[in-house]
Copies of this chain bind each other. A is one copy, B any other.
Amino acid sequence: MTTSFVKDVFRNAAGSPIRELKKYSERPGMISLAGGYPSNELMDAQGLQKVLQSFSHSEFSAALQYGGTEGLPALRAELAKLSHTKGLQVKADDLVVLSGSQQGIDLIARTLISPGDVVLVQAPTYPAALSAFRLAGATIHQLANDAQGICFDQLEATLQTLKPKLIYTVPTFANPSGKTLSKAHRLALLKLAVKYQCVVLEDDPYSDLWFDTPPPAPIFAMRHQVDGGENVCVYLSSLSKTLAPALRLGWILGPNDIRRACVLAKQSDDMQASTLTQTAAAAYLASGQFHKNLPKLRDFYALRAHTLASEINITMQGKITLTAPQGGMFIWCNAPGIDSSMWLQVAIKHNVMFVPGAAFFAHDPDASAFRLSFASQNLAGLHTGVQRLSQSLDEFSA
């Protein structure tokens, strides 16, 4: 009997609860409200395929070669322009292309966090961020939560006592809560981070998916409003939710030394994002089609969010509470008195799925909470999904 060569932290780690659910989502007839997958119908497959066809032989051939770790210059220029639309005045050289924004969380965890360092997160928060911080050996502390997403009354005391190295936040249409930090709270958070010398890692994959009104500008856009703000702000965004996750493209903004550390870590990891998907994304963004497609995406997701929320409010009245989101892909729900992970077992038999709440907490999970995504189902799917949720909950509660 050989002892495993694997380090304890990896031998004992659980897989992503969402990725582990994927096998059920592939069952015929399953309506999955679990994963945060963009709708297949809403991705511009035709447009992207056309872009790849449009390349000349020499262009396509160049797109098959190695490229720099920082990213393709043409894509960096397009992502800088896209950042402008989010209120971020940055140049191509200020950003590094990532193989998805998840990689940015991992690179930041690897380059900044030593075992025992404290990382603050919202509760609930994004499970794969928890995983990246855990694998880096962080001690994770959940910030107390209020209607705004962070309870500021307790934040300063926490910073003073725990001296965290980093705060991880999804300030806009948060995964999973759907909440958005106000402009005033963003500035307050930044001031406290500077005062207590704590990096603010701002994860922003959803801000383009607003329903009625655009969200406040990112915290990163405020970095010059506070002395020393530019030293603590790191920003991540992604093309996965608005263009296509399969491209594996995101980007990071931040202080030079942190960006440089991420480039070094990335050189040793996957060397670079795919030159081919970078070339395709750069051409697609340059064509203007991305920005033409966004309003359609927003309308569709708004309609789906509204439909899912109102179907639940009508069909499951008194059994489920929820707050309708203003953007993003998720509705955070509560089934008072119910353990949602046990309910899920019954729901799966009814061919409907969600993500139980426990996955979104570093500790002290709210067992009655659960996350629904409205993104990948059409209206008929959402309707049937809610019928099945309701029936399975009745069966589970009986």
Contact = CB atoms under 8 A, between A and B. Distances in A.
Interface of A: 2, 4-7, 10-11, 13, 15-16, 19, 22, 35, 37-38, 40, 43, 45-46, 48-49, 52-53, 55, 57, 60-69, 98-100, 102-103, 105-106, 110-114, 128, 131-132, 135, 165, 197, 199, 228, 231-232, 240, 244-248, 257-258, 260-261, 263-265, 267-277, 279
Nearest to A4: B257
B228 A267 contact: no
A111 B7 contact: yes
A17 to B, nearest CB: 11
Question: Oligomeric state, in number of copies?
Answer: 2
A228 B3 CA distance: 12
Contacts of A269: 102-103, 106, 269-270
A261 B68 CA distance: 28
24 contacts: A5-B257, A6-B261, A11-B261, A15-B264, A15-B267, A16-B69, A19-B271, A40-B61, A40-B64, A46-B57, A64-B244, A65-B245, A65-B246, A66-B240, A66-B245, A102-B269, A102-B271, A103-B270, A128-B267, A128-B271, A245-B275, A246-B274, A246-B279, A274-B274
Contact of A10 (B46, B60, B265): B265
A325 B102 CA distance: 41
A65 B264 CA distance: 29
A112 B272 CA distance: 23
B111 A10 contact: yes
Contacts of A232: 5
Nearest to A230: B2
Contacts of A63: 246
Greatest chain B CB density within 10 A among A38, A49, A232 is at A49
**6 pairs of A and B residues whose beta carbons are closest in the complex:** A246-B275, A64-B244, A10-B261, A45-B61, A99-B270, A246-B276
Contacts of A111: 6-7, 10
A180 to B, nearest CB: 25
Contacts of A132: 268
B102 A5 contact: no
B267 A248 contact: no
B114 A15 contact: no
A5 B64 contact: no
A64 B37 contact: no
Contact of A13 (B60, B264, B279): B264
Contacts of A135: 110, 264-265, 268
